[in-house]
């Protein structure tokens, strides 16, 4: 591999888009070549500059409102009550009030548990983002990462290799979710980092209400501090997928992950 | 143009699928047009075109890339129209290659990473604005997180072309940034 080859592929290298052999070859070249190593640092600095300091303009609210009308987004409509509903409304009101109060107590407890779990998952994701060395094992594929966890955890994590998506497994490390160890699997999705936490759910409050279908299992779609989080359980393990990619795309990838975990581990 | 609403059972899905990208589209429009009002017009025109073309949209296609492609085409069409009918503040679309401006000036050196760290947001925005529309577009699409394949869909070119355009554009941007970094020196 010549210096020209290396410098033409620096972006692919830094984004882990090369196959493992090519990545390793470039890595070796960069360690021994001052010119290419300098070019690599330059590319990295430019990426940081563009990602962190280039101003970003959001669409004005007035434009979004016009686009909503244009695209036919249904307005938050209030349907007129039917005659039947109007007739029995007073009688139902008292009963509903009692039911709602009881339900709210239960629901708020469930939400609080989910919020706490979501917050913990986001904290773990932030540790990955903030750490200079977030990976204890670099990935050459799931078959390389999974054995690395042997002896480090009291369970065998599923390390999903997600087929047919842009997700690329970068590697993993051991972290914590509350009081228990977790496998922290880090994936790249274009320029985004996606963290999958795998941990034992024993003893954690995990509400079964308000779940959504996540591929073959049911789970929760949450958000906190600008990050989206998808939580689900499968095969005696719990999973939390966290990223700043939009909720829809993260849910699609969670579906793939859930399918891969069920396939490998059984429901 | 008269607004024609999407309607029917799929309206909600269509609306949500497309509106979620309005901020990203507006951001590119701002960097292409350099003007908030023109950017709003361009984004609205993009959605109007998308609305008309929705029946041609193949399920499974990347909606975001499709919308960006429409925006870029709308911008080019609008620019060409404005060339024939000049407006008071025309867009700066130029046909120069991304690095043309940079290569034409001698004595310029590459920026150092340490110098880059001293640059502020306005420097980076100003440096980006000096590039041609094509160079600016390919850099912004890359920053937006599009893969090279998706950028190829937006620009309507081969993936190999995207790679070379992006490399040239980034090289040109580094040279521009070097100028701003030099000004920052005490």
Model pLDDT for residues A51-64, shown as the tens digit of each residue: 888 999 999 888 88
User: Given a cut of 60, is residue B3 above it in pLDDT?
Assistant: no
Q: Which of A73-82, A106-115, A169-178 has the highest mean pLDDT?
A: A169-178
Mean pLDDT for A211-221 is 90
ipTM rounded to 2 decimals: 0.82
For residue A49, what pLDDT is reported?
Answer: 87
Q: Would you call A35 an interface residue with chain B, using a CB distance cutoff of 8 Å?
A: no
Contacts 24+ apart (CB under 8 A), B48-53: B48/A70, B48/B1, B48/B3, B49/B73, B49/B74, B50/B18, B51/A70, B51/A71, B51/B4, B51/B6
Helix (H) or strand (E) holding A231: strand A227-234
| pLDDT for residue B69 | 95
* pLDDT reported for residue B30: 94
Residues in chain A within 8 Å Cβ distance of B122: 55
- B42 band by pLDDT with thresholds 50, 70 and 90: very high
Is residue A244 within 8 Å of residue A228, measured between CB atoms? yes
| DSSP 8-state code for residue A169 | E
- Residue pointed to by tokens 């296609």: B61
pLDDT of A146 > 50? The answer is yes
Beta bridge partners of A187: A169, A194
Q: Which of A46, A58, A248 sits opposite B23 (nearest CB)?
A: A58
The predicted structure's pLDDT at residue A71: 74
Of B131, B76, B158, B7, the closest CA to residue A70 belongs to B7
State if pTM tops 0.95.
no
As to burial, measured by CB atoms within 10 angstroms (0-12 exposed, 13-18 middle, 19+ buried), residue A21 is exposed
Does B18 contact A71 at a Cβ distance shorter than 8 Å?
yes
The answer to whether the beta carbons of residues A158 and A265 sit under 8 Å apart is yes
- Mean pLDDT of all residues in chain A? 79
Any chain A CB within 8 A of the CB of B39?
Answer: yes
| Distant-in-sequence, close-in-space partners of A251: CB < 8 Å, separation ≥ 6 | A214, A221, A230
Which pLDDT tens digit goes with each residue over A24-41?
A: 999 999 999 999 998 888
Of the pLDDT bands very low, low, confident and very high (cuts 50, 70, 90), residue A264 is low
- pLDDT for res B173: 94
- Chain B interface, best mutation among A63, A191, A245, by max B CB count within 10 A: A63
Higher pLDDT, A263 or B130: B130
At B80, list the tokens.
């060409």
Do the beta carbons of residue B152 and residue B91 sit within 8 Å? no
A42 phi/psi in degrees, rounded to 5: -65, -45
Note whether B11 contacts A70, CB cutoff 8 Å. no
Q: Which residue has the higher pLDDT, B114 or A26?
A: A26
- Contact list in A for residue B173 (CB cut-off 8 A) is 46
Residue A80 has pLDDT above 60, yes or no: no
pLDDT score, position A219: 92
Record: contact A46-B170, CB cut-off 8 A: yes
- Cα dist. A3→A19, B134, B172 in Å? 18, 27, 20
- Cβ contact B121–A68 (<8 Å): no
- Please report the pLDDT score of residue A231 as a whole number: 94
Q: What is the mean pLDDT of residues A169-183?
A: 84
Subunit contact A67:B146, Cβ cutoff 8 A = no
pLDDT in tens, B152-166: 999 999 999 999 999
CA dihedral A10, A15, A16, A22 (to 10 degrees): -10
Pick from A209, A247, A207, A205: nearest CA to A230: A247
What integer is the mean pLDDT of A194-218?
87
For residue A110, is pLDDT > 60? no
């Amino acid at each position: 591999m010549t210096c020209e080859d290396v410098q033409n592929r620096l972006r692919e290298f830094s984004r882990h888009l090369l196959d493992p052999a090519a990545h390793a070859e470039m890595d070796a070249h960069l360690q021994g070549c001052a010119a290419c190593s300098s070019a690599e640092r330059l590319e990295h600095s430019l990426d940081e500059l563009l990602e962190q300091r280039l101003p970003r303009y959001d669409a004005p609210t007035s434009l979004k409102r016009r686009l909503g009308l244009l695209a036919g987004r249904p307005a938050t409509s209030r349907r007129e009550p039917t005659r039947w509903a109007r007739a029995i409304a007073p009688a139902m009101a008292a009963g509903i009030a009692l039911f709602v109060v009881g339900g709210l107590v239960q629901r708020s407890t469930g939400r609080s548990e989910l919020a706490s779990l979501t917050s913990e998952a986001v904290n773990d994701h932030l540790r990955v983002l903030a750490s200079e060395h977030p990976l204890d094992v670099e990935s050459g594929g799931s078959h390389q990462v999974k054995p690395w966890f042997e002896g480090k955890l009291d369970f065998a994590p599923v390390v999903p290799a997600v087929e047919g998506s842009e997700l690329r497994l970068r590697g993993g490390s051991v972290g914590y979710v509350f009081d228990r160890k977790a496998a922290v699997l880090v994936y790249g999705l274009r320029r985004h980092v996606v963290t999958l936490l795998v941990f034992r759910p024993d003893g954690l409050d995990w509400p079964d209400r308000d779940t959504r279908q996540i591929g073959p299992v049911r789970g929760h779609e949450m958000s906190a501090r600008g990050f989206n989080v998808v939580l689900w359980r499968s095969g005696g393990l719990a999973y939390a997928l966290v990223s700043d990619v939009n909720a829809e795309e993260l849910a699609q990838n969670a579906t793939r992950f859930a399918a891969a975990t069920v396939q490998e581990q059984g429901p | 143009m008269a607004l024609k609403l999407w309607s029917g059972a799929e309206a909600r899905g269509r609306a949500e699928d497309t509106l979620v990208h309005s901020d990203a589209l507006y951001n590119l429009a701002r960097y292409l047009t350099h003007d908030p009002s023109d950017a709003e017009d361009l984004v609205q025109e993009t959605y109007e075109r998308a609305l008309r073309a929705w029946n041609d949209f193949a399920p499974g296609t990347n909606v975001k890339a499709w919308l960006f492609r429409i925006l870029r085409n709308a911008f080019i069409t609008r620019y060409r129209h404005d060339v024939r009918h000049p407006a008071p503040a025309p867009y700066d679309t130029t046909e120069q290659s991304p690095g043309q401006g940079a290569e034409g000036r001698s004595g310029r050196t590459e920026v150092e990473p340490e110098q880059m760290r001293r640059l502020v947001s306005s420097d980076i925005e100003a440096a980006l604005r000096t590039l041609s529309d094509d160079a600016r577009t390919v850099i912004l699409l890359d920053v937006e997180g599009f893969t090279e394949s998706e950028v190829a869909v937006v620009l309507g070119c081969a993936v190999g072309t995207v790679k070379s355009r992006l490399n040239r554009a980034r090289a040109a941007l580094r040279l521009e940034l070097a100028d701003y970094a030099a000004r920052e020196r005490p």
